[in-house]
Structure 1
């Protein structure tokens, strides 16, 4: 009887984890790019600054609601943690800046490519910095993904820098966060607070020189800028909740929903170019991801 009750609890926990994951990846794949597309009239740096400021406000509100103030103060008291989180804050700010510019400059297909290859970048970073070893299937996956990226580079005459910058910045961000012993919400709050003075300073300058787009009578635009805090913090928190409830392999499979949504938006809604060369390159990367995922599932099952 006890066993069946425990199984039921685990099943409910897993079900809620799937819902959290779906919510997070829906936000990242569809809602967030659509949100930023509504802000194309706003300079990229102003969007980034508002995103940082309002994300800080939202994160502090959650800290207060969940009574996590003591844990936040404890994390801030550690000089080493704050130093590492300063590095991760810089990396995520770079990632956000590139992403916002890419979405509003018609490069959604490249953003999707970046997040498709991000898991494979993580593998490479694990080998380089964490001394993790690759099995033959993982090596094959990385090589195939590399061929896919090179195919795009040769066809277009230049490397897909947007995709590579997004993948590498987020991969390095994940690497730093992996070695910082701090809860997801606490870490995100500290990162936002570390960036907030710079963001606030920049916004003050825009108010002084008259280039600020906020408080100019467009209430809808002001609300969209404030909501960047919600669209930034909510999926990160949902993702953390999913990661606590699901197997890492399950989260890994579901994470491809986000770049799939971005790709669909870019091609089907906003009419970005996607020719046969792109199809071949993405096909190679998808095969690489399938090989990588199969390898991860085998490892997780102990085979």
Structure 2
């Protein structure tokens, strides 16, 4: 008798798309909290993410899984590393948006899928087809164009791409569920986050959280907009090929790129437009390959 069928490889697609849509439009939210210093905002973001995670854990009765993750030395070390990476990623991203470096932030997440592909291929042993390698080459050419014209902000782009790519790789390898893992990460970051919030509260300017009800509510919303997409991403990372998940991520920086051009009204240089076209061409090639393989599988199964 055959065992239960394994879940389809693309079962994490909906979760991945949802996460990247939220992240893509996140700069619109950051406009509401622009007056909050980046360090302070990230501190409050962590503080308000944890209770949301705990509430969902309680609702889903996943407390034993959180306790198991805390009791496992290997899992705890891995989650400590992933929490440090995601905390650094948040800080760089918020700082970039607050300082009108929207295109640099967008470029960071254009680079990230290429990093994911390399990690998936050389670390996890995943295989790419010829069309997928072609897509990698086209996307790399587009990123190279932007790198040539964005040297002064290169640290922003590389920091974002490397930190999130490595974060996703660690979360895929640790044997902890999506929500319990995120809860532990938030708990590990709570002490430094509380220290940052206390430091700003003790400063002459005072805490941003106490300035107005509207700003306080906007800061609390940051916890929701942190927990939900990260949970969705963790689900997708555990269910999908990491290289496929990497190309799916082109969605978020494309949205950010368009927001930079429209809402933030940053000038678009010809080299940036050329990069935009090449990257979308790479996505088209990658999607073409996925559809072609699905069609071939259906023929074999017929």
TM-score band by shorter chain is 0.7 to 0.9
C-alpha deviation, 1:293, in angstroms? 3.5
C-alpha deviation, 1:181, in angstroms? 0.9
Structure 2 residue 117 is matched with structure 1 residue 123: yes
- Judged with a 3 Å threshold, the aligned counterparts in structure 2 of structure 1 residues 298 and 95 are, in CA distance, closer, same or farther, namely farther
Distance in 2 (alpha carbons) for counterparts of 1:53 and 1:226: 9
How many residues matched? 288
Deviation sequence 1:186-220 (CA, Å, 0-9, x none) = 11111110011111112112222334433534111
Which stretches in structure 1 are left out of the alignment for 5+ residues?
1-9
Distance in 1 (alpha carbons) for counterparts of 2:171 and 2:239: 19
- Judged with a 3 Å threshold, the aligned counterparts in structure 2 of structure 1 residues 244 and 99 are, in CA distance, closer, same or farther, namely same
The more displaced of 122-131 and 240-249 is 240-249
Structure 2 residue 79 is matched with structure 1 residue 89: no
Computed over aligned residues only, the root mean square deviation of the Cα atoms, in angstroms, reads 3.0
- Judged with a 3 Å threshold, the aligned counterparts in structure 2 of structure 1 residues 149 and 227 are, in CA distance, closer, same or farther, namely same
Distance in 1 (alpha carbons) for counterparts of 2:206 and 2:60: 34
Match of 2:169 among 175, 180, 186: 175
The more displaced of 73-82 and 126-135 is 126-135
**2:24 maps to which residue?**
29
Q: Is the 8 A contact 1:17 1:241 kept in 2?
A: no
Match of 2:108 among 94, 109, 114: 114
C-alpha deviation, 1:122, in angstroms? 0.6
Which stretches in structure 2 are left out of the alignment for 5+ residues?
1-6, 298-302
Q: Is the 8 A contact 2:48 2:220 kept in 1?
A: yes
**Within 5 A, what are the aligned runs for 1:140-159?**
140-158=134-152
- Judged with a 3 Å threshold, the aligned counterparts in structure 2 of structure 1 residues 301 and 227 are, in CA distance, closer, same or farther, namely same
- Judged with a 3 Å threshold, the aligned counterparts in structure 2 of structure 1 residues 215 and 175 are, in CA distance, closer, same or farther, namely closer
**Within 5 A, what are the aligned runs for 1:34-53?**
34-53=28-47
Distance in 1 (alpha carbons) for counterparts of 2:123 and 2:263: 40
Distance in 1 (alpha carbons) for counterparts of 2:185 and 2:89: 13
Aligned-partner SS, 1:167: helix
- Judged with a 3 Å threshold, the aligned counterparts in structure 2 of structure 1 residues 106 and 215 are, in CA distance, closer, same or farther, namely closer
Deviation sequence 1:7-57 (CA, Å, 0-9, x none) = xxx9xxx8x974x66643332121x21111211111100011111111011
The more displaced of 177-186 and 99-108 is 99-108
TM-score, with length taken from structure 1 = 0.83
C-alpha deviation, 1:78, in angstroms? 0.3
The more displaced of 192-201 and 103-112 is 103-112
- Judged with a 3 Å threshold, the aligned counterparts in structure 2 of structure 1 residues 299 and 120 are, in CA distance, closer, same or farther, namely farther
Distance in 2 (alpha carbons) for counterparts of 1:138 and 1:159: 29
TM-score, with length taken from structure 2 = 0.83
- Judged with a 3 Å threshold, the aligned counterparts in structure 2 of structure 1 residues 179 and 252 are, in CA distance, closer, same or farther, namely closer
**1:199 maps to which residue?**
193
Aligned-partner SS, 2:123: helix
